[in-house]
Structure 1
């Protein structure tokens, strides 16, 4: 797939959202317990019942601009392994394993597994997820407290130090819509704020009430069933990868999300719809179409290498011995499955036969 300079914005947005969703989801019992629940209750967040709303941007585009819609579909069709959430992993002499692409949200529709996945998970010898530390929140919190610089600004600065007055007001408005006073999160790293802006108010409310996201629900079910749960990364590794990217780069991502304004809820709604239909390859082209104008690709190669490609290779390497034993059920973010260096391609390069489960 040819990537224009314009699409660098959309790819950065997609992976920033995906990484942020996982980390916020995994930390909801940690960070949220420490301040976000109080913030939400004190400020009266919208969507108190946890119901999400939004419009499917692709459906609207299909009606309003059919040529643009056809171009997006064609671009999505060209993404390697861009269709399908549930994959079968096979190698001669081994019991089959399975790979499920997840979305790190608490949407009840997302929590419902695709056809065949519940049976495959029930029969698995081990569940593999991105980080098994989500199962021991107190231990994870204790570890993260030793390195607060991974999530917080430790130099005395606040997010306002980097923004103009107009940009600060824009951020304040976006956070207020999600029930979060700027003052409560002003010392958080910009990528954390981007994650808050990306999440609809309804998702924040559900998380604040303790709702489990898909990966955590799978892990909890596995523990109850007596299945071992293995993680491919630590939360410190995930946070360190995000923190290793220059602040200026994260600030650009934050401003891009703020520029989307009210459309951000529609973006998340559309991403969820694409996930539910298994059309993961359409995510990037869709985001490219709705991203704010711009062609700045500065820093993107480094971002993609550290946050996407390198993590894909780490996941594949660490999953390999578990998959070589056969009978595993692996569940990681769906964005890690697609592309030439996505997990499906990497596992095939390791000698596994990987096929989408219809």
Structure 2
């Protein structure tokens, strides 16, 4: 999970040891670009619009009040961001912030400090194309749905964190697939094929460590199954 909570850092010591044994560290994309990404124009609603412009000031004030009360997130700070990013920001706010960085960036920095080769199974550009494929009305619906049932969204995030701690990758996959609805093909299945192909390409001649979102692992089109289909022998550590 791309969060800062202690709940996803439970295997940190073991992960560091495995990274030190590896030649290459692979993330979803090159995380050295993270500072650029956080301020990139393509993370903003097009044409300089804001969330209140899209849904109306009255409705925005109502949603803002609910989100702030439920999650301590001030939507005014993020109203120019794509609604999809706002959903992620709200999700992160539910969990504790025990570390100053999300797990994947934390491990990336450790690998970098350990002078490991670094790469990504996707590119930032490809992730942007995926976000742009999600219609604005559907992104707005995600934010509206959270404001209608904030307790349900909180419960779901906490449930996912629990499954992560328990290493229940099948439950994480099923939950992710269900929540993505009609976008599960482009957000999950299509990306899994890209990740598996790229991982095989990068790791042919070196020992590698790959850190991607846990929802990509399980399922008939999950990375683990795709690698098995390619002839890889997989073993849980």
Query: Normalising by structure 2, what TM-score?
Result: 0.84
Cα distance in 2, alignment partners of residues 336 and 223 from structure 1: 24
Change (3 A) 1:284 1:352: closer
- Equivalent in the alignment of 1:52: none
1:319 pairs with 2:212: no
* 1:127–1:230 Cα contact (<8 Å) kept: yes
- Equivalent in the alignment of 1:153: 45
Change (3 A) 1:106 1:339: same
* 2:64–2:74 Cα contact (<8 Å) kept: no
Worse-matched range after superposition: 346-355 or 258-267: 258-267
Cα distance in 2, alignment partners of residues 283 and 202 from structure 1: 17
Cα distance in 1, alignment partners of residues 105 and 48 from structure 2: 34
Cα distance in 2, alignment partners of residues 320 and 222 from structure 1: 20
CA deviation string 1:96-138 (max 9, x = no partner): xxxxxxx111112312327854432221111111122x22445
Cα distance in 2, alignment partners of residues 322 and 282 from structure 1: 29
- Equivalent in the alignment of 1:135: 32
1:266 pairs with 2:155: yes
* 1:128–1:331 Cα contact (<8 Å) kept: yes
Structure 1 unaligned residues grouped into runs of 5+: 1-102, 292-298
Shift of 1:170: 2.5
Counterpart secondary structure, 1:355: coil
Larger Cα-atom Rg: 1
Structure 1 vs Structure 2 CA RMSD = 3.0
- Equivalent in the alignment of 1:24: none
Cα distance in 2, alignment partners of residues 202 and 270 from structure 1: 11
Equivalent residue for 2:226, pick from 346, 352, 355: 346
* 1:152–1:187 Cα contact (<8 Å) kept: yes
Shift of 1:285: 5.7
Equivalent residue for 1:120, pick from 5, 14, 18: 18
Change (3 A) 1:113 1:243: same
Cα distance in 2, alignment partners of residues 238 and 125 from structure 1: 25
More helix by share: 2
Shift of 1:284: 5.8
Shift of 1:214: 1.0
Which protein has greater RCO, CA pairs closer than 8 Å, 6+ apart? Answer: 1
- Trace 1:245-264 onto structure 2 (pairs within 5 A): 245-264=134-153
1:333 pairs with 2:213: yes
- Equivalent in the alignment of 1:169: 62
Change (3 A) 1:202 1:332: closer
Cα distance in 2, alignment partners of residues 304 and 202 from structure 1: 24
Counterpart secondary structure, 1:308: helix
Structure 2 unaligned residues grouped into runs of 5+: none
* 2:172–2:214 Cα contact (<8 Å) kept: no
- Equivalent in the alignment of 1:184: 77
Residues matched between the structures, number: 236
Cα distance in 1, alignment partners of residues 168 and 86 from structure 2: 28
Cα distance in 2, alignment partners of residues 300 and 288 from structure 1: 7
Cα distance in 1, alignment partners of residues 174 and 228 from structure 2: 25
Change (3 A) 1:173 1:336: same
- Equivalent in the alignment of 2:118: 229
